[in-house]
Structure 1
């Protein structure tokens, strides 16, 4: 019996010690916001336990304060402007006391909590069929059908049939009518007014030079171009053709002279570089100095500029300030003197503007008068409009009858030049095909590059 009592006493002692240890165990820490937290832990051996027991109470408090501001004001206060948060009240509001909520002892706390409405709009589970516009994320049935066809997905056709994307027109190729075809007939290319983003832009009214040209399509030939012309008319036409040909020869000779001078200058530069011409060599810098050094004469070296002292810099600055003051005084005197001559200056300015306007009007009149005769001889773009050829026969080539008449000129060339002169087509020059020349390239074989 004594042994069993001792065992029971020892057993009871062990149980009491275990209970006392459990009673001293600290309670789990709770978060301020209400979420469970266990900040105190004896061991953080694993990443999972370390992440779980990080103390984030300060961040949670800050985020909860921001959420409270959003519920009350619709957005966080630090996002609002100062004008929306503060105001200078110099008079005071007499109705403010009546607008403030009064303390009520009969109102329950639950009713007060339910009376507080959040400024954030409620989340809608599905869109309602109200008069609101659909969002940009909405995809129409046509776009959805097109995307399914491009992605080669199964689509439902008529009578709930599945459309095969392998058929013609059902793949990734766009088979619908383009926007240009849909909008065809609504835009007039030749209209004067152009609409850009709802704003009508009127085209500038610039007169076309074709409207001022008054020459006929087929010009009347000169009297000296007849098969049996008058002597005076034939002589005049011959003189005109001679002057045109002489002018062309002068221009060609002028270009030839310029070309010869350029070639001569290139040859001279090549001779000077090779040293074949005496008396044309230019001394190189430093050659004369070396000869004088060898002769033993004294060489004059350039004097280096000496740095100015502070006194000299102050003196130079003072001189510059005096010069600026004198210039400003002279300008002021000239300005004061010009005040009395304002009327004279105004009259002279008006006269100058009138003369300029008259010169512009005269120049425009000359241009219009010249345009009436066509665009012959004027430069348009890269080329110049041709003036036309003078077709004339010499005295011994003239035939006094139509039977022996020989045709002169080219009707196609005449019509082409006439259309250029009347501004119907742009000036052109004949482009002749060039024969392709094969360039020979000499290559030394690799076996012959290195030999002993």
Structure 2
């Protein structure tokens, strides 16, 4: 043994008690004097080293017995072992106990078959496809099948609306909704149906306008044409007279104009002066009179009497109105019936007018073309003797104007 006793690397305590125990047991077993001497010298050296301060402030262990020695033994290594075991149990077990099959796998990627050149060539992206993929704003031209698929049938739209109504009735979000939100519900726009014209594209003229008409139908067509011409004549005669461009009379000289103005101005000025003088005299003659208390009381009583009479007349009128309520109700019903009749007459008149005339498109009204009726002298009964006329283009143009496809224009005359 040396003079210095090392410390334990695990616990950090001195090994002095264990060395003393081993020395004493050795001395008892041998029992010779040399062992006793050696033990004495060792104890002396240990006491000297302890006195010199080799343990440097460490707590001294008690020398009473083995129980005191065991109390100073540290258990840090055991606690570390338990901590590591709990960590391994929580993390799934220690890696040393896990089998190698679960940690490693065999890479068999080299065993796959090599693809052919044709398959690789097919997988390549073409140039225009790559351009379209890079630019997302360029949309391809949709095909006809795509257009058909986008269109919804009427039954599908009805089902969607019914489902939406059921969702709303079942109870949706009762909170506030942003009306400017882009992610709103899809609103299906209903297409407006174009108004169909009542006037046909090609009108068939009455049989009296034929080149060889029967006598009765020809007379009827002539009567209609004569009636139209007579209406135009009566409208011009009975209409308001236009403003004449020239007024009959003689021109007035400048000297006569001055005399006329002077005469008219002097008379009016004299009359105004006389009236002003009379009003000034009346104002001067009228003076305010002092009212007595009797007159004031008389006026107050008169005012109250007039007020009571007005209230009485008002109450009487109100009672008369209340008594005549049935008559008022009947009058209102009669007026409502007349209004409905007038409305029906107006609607039917508009419909009848639309059958013959188009709606007003421009500043000029549509003027129908005159009926093409042959006179009795012009009827020959043969197409060969019929006179040629260039009314086909005019007839088509009038048909366009009548249907409201062209704005009516004024007839232009060649110069």
Give the TM-score category using the shorter length.
Answer: 0.3 to 0.5
Q: Comparing both chains, which one has the higher relative contact order based on Cα–Cα distances under 8 Å and sequence gaps of 6 or more?
A: 2
Q: TM-score, normalised by structure 1?
A: 0.37
Q: TM-score, normalised by structure 2?
A: 0.40
Structure showing the higher helix proportion among its residues: 2
State which structure, 1 or 2, has the greater radius of gyration over its C-alpha atoms: 2
